[in-house]
Structure 1
């Protein structure tokens, strides 16, 4: 087994864990709110499609690492996965329909967890940055929170609730 195949197996297993967490989260949401997105055969097809799109995006990213154009070589994996998903969804409505069977909030929970873990792994890099970044972060987080709260309040006022 080569180093590349081990890397792809590792990525595939991490993505499979993600798919399992998405399914688990959707089931918990369904138990909490029976009117939410039900788990059907299409849900499994949608999760399989997301897994395949992710793996294709990883392969494409590795293929383009050998290109001499820096912008293409440094393009992030997430971008290649997004482009792959977009192309397949434009080619066939099947993919759009089966991905719609996967609850959006069930997808975001594991993704945000993995994002948090990846940021936590880079805390040593964060320590090397200036303390001024912390001040900027506080203002950005506060502004985002206040802006979201104001928009939500406006939405409630417009709908009369």
Structure 2
């Protein structure tokens, strides 16, 4: 198997693991709270749709990295997955209905797990940064929190609640 094909197999397996973790998390949530989002055929279709969109986005990203156009070459994988998802969901209502059957919190758990793993993997690089980055991070977190709270409050005031 060639190196490029081996990389696609690795991406496909990681995405399959992600979808499996989403299904596992939704099943655990269902056991804890039987009134939550049930697992049915549409849930499986939604997970397969997410898998397909991710795989297509990764493939597009890898193929376009060979172009000499800097913007296209440096566009992140998440962007291609988002564009693929957006186009498919705007084109076919089935994808929207299927993805609605997947519990949102079940999706966020594996994503946060992978994010944590990727941060731990770069802990050595994080140690090399200055202590001043911690101060910047605190201000970013506080600013984001206050900004979100102000936007939410504005939304509540506009709707009269």
Q: TM-score range by the shorter chain?
A: 0.7 to 0.9
Distance 1:147 1:82 in 2: 24
Compared CA separation, residues 83 and 150, structure 1 to 2 (3 A): closer
Distance 1:87 1:152 in 2: 29
Q: Displacement of 1:13 after TM fit?
A: 0.8
1:54-109: CA deviations, max 9, x gaps? 11101100111011111110000000001011111111001111011000110011
Q: Displacement of 1:128 after TM fit?
A: 2.1
In the TM superposition, what are the counterparts of 1:140-159 in structure 2 within 5 Å?
140-145=140-145
Compared CA separation, residues 36 and 66, structure 1 to 2 (3 A): same
In the TM superposition, what are the counterparts of 1:87-126 in structure 2 within 5 Å?
87-126=87-126
Aligned to 1:44: 44
What TM-score results when the alignment is normalised by the length of structure 1? 0.88
In the TM superposition, what are the counterparts of 1:1-161 in structure 2 within 5 Å?
1-145=1-145
Q: Displacement of 1:34 after TM fit?
A: 1.4
- Report the number of matched residues: 157
Unaligned runs of 5+ in 2: none
1:5-47: CA deviations, max 9, x gaps? 1111111111111111100111111112211111010100110
What TM-score results when the alignment is normalised by the length of structure 2? 0.88
Q: The residue matched to 2:87 in structure 1 has which SS?
A: helix
Compared CA separation, residues 70 and 152, structure 1 to 2 (3 A): closer
Unaligned runs of 5+ in 1: none
C-alpha RMSD over aligned residues: 2.1
Compared CA separation, residues 65 and 152, structure 1 to 2 (3 A): closer
Q: The residue matched to 1:66 in structure 2 has which SS?
A: coil
Q: Displacement of 1:138 after TM fit?
A: 2.3
Larger mean CA deviation between 47-56 and 141-150 belongs to: 141-150
